[in-house]
């Protein structure tokens, strides 16, 4: 049985009592262990139950350690819902646009342990009429909630209970870019089934992936292999070609070189490079710096006479490598430097005994990536909620909203194509 509640996650400010001087605070009796156990916050649960609350960013920062330990035990690795990404991302947003973090905790071996975390988008003006939505950032290519591998079903079931209380009209929760198969998806469906909830899949897509044990030479067509080998020989005629990987402390210096390389090409002209805005640059710096301290990110380089002509930023979580950002020097585009680097890096990954999968983090249909990585990772948006009129209306509105957005994007592409002519 779940006792579910919500708090803002904030803590009392001692300055609210300006008349209480230092002497008064010192002589106030401290609560003993038994007293402290009885002084529960609104929404706290008793032993053996699950406690759910939505933390604002200041409180989430306090729980950063528990949050990070949960990420290490997550059934589905997702570094983009970890504190190393969410906290610096929120710091760059206006207060009204910052997410809250829905967390679930359970008493295990006498201590409260975090067993689930899901960043939520801020509630809008008509929040009660729509679903609670997982927070989404343009730089985050995955939206799977962090669920403890040993308590995944319990944690997500508690999330659904929390949403049911906060959104009584629809009782629904919307997730984005969640792997369609895997432990997180399995736990989500089991929790929904246990609570007699529907689970709708919306906008399923597949992106390139490299799985452990893949036969790289068999995945690439003989025609493409010959072409890349020929281009490699031509590139070698211009100087010494080498591949290296930056890890650990070297990442902090080399990421600045990557930012410059990315901004020098088409991403910079289009305004989508990490260095194109103060927000994305600050987020990327903080994210990679934090991960480098734990040796959980790397930058792969293809160099010509020691100068970088292609680079890729990889984020590591569990046995999964996320091929997060790529860049190349357009002066060498004729030699396919991005594909050359990807081929070298794939061989390195496949030789690692701890490697399980590489997620390309790309849009479906990315020809260059999918020509080398024949594996696919299927992701989907999910809408979970109790069946009924409210959920049916929510589903129809969601489909209509997505249709309008897709139509608007199509019009934009056509206009952009005409302007470019």
pLDDT of residue 20: 32
Q: What's the confidence (pLDDT) of residue 121? A: 95
pLDDT score recorded for residue 125? 65
- For residue 400, what pLDDT is reported? 75
Cβ count near 330 (within 10 Å): 13
Say whether both 122 and 220 belong to one domain.
Answer: no
Strand bridging mode 146-147 / 111-120: antiparallel
Q: Are 386 and 197 in contact (CB under 8 A)?
A: yes
> For residue 318, what are the domain limits?
215-373
Task: Give a yes or no: residue 87 inside a domain.
Answer: yes
Whether residues 154 and 177 fall in one domain: yes
383 and 362, same structural domain? no
Assigned domain for 330 exists: yes
**Residues 265 and 281 reside in one and the same domain:** yes
What lies within 8 Å, CB to CB, of 275 at 6+ separation is 259, 260, 262, 263, 268, 281
DSSP codes of every residue in 34-74: HHHHH-PPTT---TTSEEEEEE-HHHHHHTHHHHHHHHHTB
Partners of 172 in beta bridges: 385
Query: Does 383 lie in the same domain as 286?
Result: no
- Together in a domain, 176 and 50: yes
Within 10 angstroms of residue 407's Cβ, the number of other Cβ atoms is 10
Same domain assignment for residues 296 and 367 = yes
| 417 is a domain residue | no
| Strand ordering across the sheet containing 111-120 | 50-55, 100-108, 111-120, 146-147
Q: Is residue 421 part of a domain?
A: no
Q: Are residues 258 and 127 in the same domain?
A: no
Is 137 contained in some domain? yes
Domain-embedded: residue 410: no
Distance of CA 28 to the CA centre of its chain: 45
pLDDT at 408: 62
What pLDDT sits at residue 410? 57
Q: Which residues of 208-224 are buried (b: 16+ CB within 10 A; e: fewer)?
A: bbbeeebebeebbeeee
CATH number at residue 306: 3.40.630.30
Q: Are residues 260 and 192 in the same domain?
A: no
Please give the span between the terminal C-alpha atoms of the chain, in angstroms, as a whole number: 63
Is 86 in the same domain as 195?
yes
d(CA 2, CA 25): 37
CB hemisphere CA count around 319 (13 angstroms): 12
pLDDT given for residue 3 in this prediction: 46
Q: Do residue 363 and residue 349 come from a single domain?
A: yes
Residue 259 included in any domain = yes
Give the separation between CA 48 and CA 52, rounded to whole angstroms: 13
pLDDT given at position 411: 57
One digit per residue, pLDDT tens: the chain, 421 residues? Answer: 444 444 444 333 333 333 233 333 333 334 444 333 333 344 333 334 799 999 999 999 999 999 999 999 999 999 999 999 999 999 999 999 999 999 999 999 889 999 999 999 998 766 666 789 999 999 999 999 999 999 999 999 999 999 988 887 778 999 999 999 989 999 999 999 999 999 999 989 999 999 999 999 899 999 999 999 999 999 999 999 999 999 999 999 999 999 999 999 999 999 999 999 999 999 999 999 999 999 999 999 999 999 999 999 999 998 999 999 999 999 999 999 999 999 999 999 999 999 999 999 999 889 999 999 999 999 999 999 888 777 777 777 777 777 776 566 555 555 555 454 4
What is the rounded distance in angstroms from the CA atom of residue 164 to the CA atom of residue 153?
16
Number of independent structural domains in the chain: 2
In a domain, 415, yes or no: no
132, 120 Cβ separation under 8 angstroms: yes
Question: Do 170 and 241 lie in a common domain?
Answer: no
Distance CA 250, CA 256 (A): 11
């Amino acid at each position: 049985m779940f006792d579910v509640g919500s708090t803002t996650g904030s803590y009392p400010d001692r300055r609210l009592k300006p008349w209480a001087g230092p002497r008064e605070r010192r002589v106030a009796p401290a609560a003993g262990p038994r007293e402290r156990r009885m002084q529960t916050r609104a929404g706290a649960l008793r032993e053996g139950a699950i406690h759910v609350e939505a933390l604002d960013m200041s409180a989430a920062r306090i729980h950063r350690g528990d949050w990070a330990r949960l990420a290490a035990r997550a059934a589905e690795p997702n570094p983009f819902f970890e504190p190393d990404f969410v906290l610096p991302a929120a710091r760059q947003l206006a207060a009204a646009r910052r997410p809250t973090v829905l967390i679930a905790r359970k008493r295990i071996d006498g201590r409260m342990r975090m067993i689930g975390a899901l960043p939520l988008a801020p509630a809008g003006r008509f929040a009660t009429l729509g679903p609670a939505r997982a927070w989404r950032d343009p730089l985050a290519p995955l939206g799977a909630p962090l669920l403890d591998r040993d308590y995944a079903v319990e944690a997500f079931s508690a999330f659904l209970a929390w949403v049911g209380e906060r959104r009584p009209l629809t009782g629904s929760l919307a997730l984005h870019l969640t792997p369609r198969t895997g432990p997180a998806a399995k736990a989500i469906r089991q929790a929904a089934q246990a609570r007699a909830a529907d689970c709708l899949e919306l906008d399923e897509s597949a992106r390139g992936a490299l799985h452990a044990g893949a036969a790289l030479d068999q995945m690439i067509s003989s025609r493409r292999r010959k072409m890349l080998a020929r281009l490699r020989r031509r590139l070698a005629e211009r100087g010494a070609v080498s591949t290296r990987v930056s890890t650990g402390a070297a990442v902090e210096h080399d990421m600045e070189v990557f930012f410059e390389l990315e901004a020098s090409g088409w991403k910079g002209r289009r305004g989508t490079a990490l260095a194109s805005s103060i927000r994305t640059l600050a987020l990327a710096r903080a994210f990679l710096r934090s991960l480098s301290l734990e040796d959980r990110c790397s930058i792969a380089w293809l160099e010509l006479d020691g100068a970088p002509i292609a680079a890729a930023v990889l984020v590591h979580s569990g046995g999964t490598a996320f091929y997060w950002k790529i860049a190349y020097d357009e002066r060498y585009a004729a030699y396919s430097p991005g594909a050359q680097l990807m081929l070298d890096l794939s061989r390195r990954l496949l030789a690692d005994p701890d490697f399980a999968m590489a997620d390309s983090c790309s849009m479906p249909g990315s020809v260059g990536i999918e020509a080398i990585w024949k594996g696919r990772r299927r992701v989907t948006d999910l809408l979970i909620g109790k069946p009924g009129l409210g959920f049916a209306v929510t589903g129809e509105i969601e489909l209509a909203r997505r249709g309008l957005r897709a139509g608007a994007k199509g019009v934009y592409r056509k206009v952009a194509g005409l302007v470019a002519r």
